[in-house]
Copies of this chain bind each other. A is one copy, B any other.
Amino acid sequence: MPGHKLDVLDTIFHPRSVAVVGVTGANDRVGYNLLQSLIHAGYKGIIYPIHPRLENLLGLPVYRSLEEVPGPVDLAVIGVNQYATVEVVEQCGRKGVKGVICVAGGYREMGAEGKALEERLIAVARQYNVEVVGPNTLGLINTGVGLNATFYPIRLPRGRVSFVSQSGGVGLTILQKALDEGLGVNKWVGVGNRSTLELSDYLEYLARDDSTAVIGVFVEGTDDARRLVQVAGEVARRKPVVFYKVGRSDAVNSAALTHTGSMAGSYQMYRQILQQFGLLVVESALEMVAACNALAMAPIPRGNGVGVVTHTAGPSIVLLDEAGLRGGVFPPFTESTMERIRNIMGHNPAVVLKNPLDAAGRGMQAATFGRLAEAVLEDPLIDLLVAIYCLHLNWRCPTSEILAAQEKSGKPVVALYISSLEQVREERELLHSRGIPVYVTPEEAAWGVSALLHYARQRRGVNR
């Protein structure tokens, strides 16, 4: 990728000033919400709302045109229709704006006429060396600088995961699910029609972005598939990339074509190539968030041996099943671990001592749970521990014990705390702050574990 695109993307994600073109006073219009999103997220740079007649909006002075803006503009967010957008991009070019976000649809996804319009948009952008996010996009977010350059005024907790989504709506689904799961977000972009900036450009940028530790990608389809997968494969050597590719059923290709003007492409072909390049492929927005959560929180395990401590067998069986389908291995404990476990448990004819270790009623006592977790984490065959606990009104969660055991061993731990999402909030915040991802269902925990095991294999060169 030319250094220019990387530089401009860096400016787009860290603009010192943002012009919002097409603001209005009506709060159910895109222009108003583009402006409100910037303010709502706490953007600290200079905001220049542009409107030919308005004087003030949301407490900010409004400028009649880009020309009248007194200082330089790094990024312009454009909320006018598809025809006017082309003209605004030209004004941006003349003003020396580095990057533009074009929200309007009505381009190549609409057939020949729209395609011609998009080509004009691209030509204008190229003429002035302006990079275009979109068109036909929700926009982008960088929580690191309080930049929400979308028309969805949401606030996200800051984190280490960045997302590149071909669909604004699916990207938004992922953000909302991340919110529910307490997963912090670093950067997010809806790529839309990819006129001057391709999926692979964003990926390459995020690969070099130190504040992004994990990248999640949602893809419908792209003409650029070959480069995308190659770039992603290279990126995955540096940091985990998680791919969600739609298109497993036949019903989808024609729908995707209309959406962003690209065929979804053969799913199996895509999947095989992605896997050849060592990339993790997931099958839902839920699995995407579960995988990114684990990869953002926990260290990559050194091997693929999973140990489980629980007080309830069923969820461990579901975990085994889901993770087993994805290559997870649950080795028997070594004899010395077994000896430790027997010492902790004492004689208890209601418990079978093995991996997964179901300590039944004894396991509900936090202290006992903690000692078992410690013993399992010290087993040389165990590279990762899953701690399963059902939140209870009267039994205390073994959170501090799990944290202590994790710290002592340095091995990754995944917590499956069966609970409603709301009730587990406090424990989750504590565990997340110390690098332990928390899940409330065994399937999601298995997806998280599987993501860690995938990148453990990747590091050992087993996936290729």
Interface positions of A (Cβ within 8 A of B): 27-28, 30, 32-33, 36, 40, 81-82, 104-106, 109-110, 113-114, 152-154, 165-173, 176-177, 179-180, 218, 220, 246-252, 255-256, 258-260, 264, 284-286, 310, 312-318, 320-325, 328, 330, 349-352, 354, 356, 358, 360-361, 364-365, 388, 390, 392-396, 418-422, 440-444
Contacts and interface: CB of A to CB of B under 8 A. Distances in A.
Contact of A153 (B113, B394, B421, B443): B394
Q: Which 10 A-B pairs have the closest CB atoms?
A: A167-B314, A106-B350, A169-B312, A249-B324, A251-B324, A259-B313, A170-B314, A169-B314, A169-B315, A284-B443
A350 B322 CA distance: 42
Contacts of A33: 392-394
B255 A350 contact: no
B177 A255 contact: no
A32 B350 contact: no
A365 B27 CA distance: 12
Contacts of A264: 317
A154 to B, nearest CB: 8
B313 A169 contact: yes
B442 A314 contact: no
- The oligomer's copy count stands at 2
Nearest to A394: B27
Contact of A179 (B105, B256, B312, B420): B420
Contacts of A27: 394
A27 to B, nearest CB: 4
Contacts of A259: 313-314, 317, 358
Given A172-B390, A393-B153, A421-B180, A220 B317 contact: yes
Contact of A320 (B152, B252, B349, B354): B252
B171 A314 contact: yes
Contacts of A443: 284-286
A350 B110 contact: yes
Contacts of A252: 317, 320-321, 324
A255 B313 contact: yes
Contacts of A323: 251
Given A152-B392, A286-B443, 7 more contacts: A33-B392, A105-B351, A114-B350, A169-B390, A173-B418, A255-B320, A286-B444
Contacts of A315: 167, 169-170, 173
A108 to B, nearest CB: 12
A395 B286 CA distance: 26
A324 to B, nearest CB: 3
Among A32, A249, A360, max chain B CB count under 10 A is at: A249
A325 B249 contact: yes
Among A106, A250, A323, A394, max chain B CB count under 10 A is at: A394
A141 B422 CA distance: 22
A349 B176 contact: no
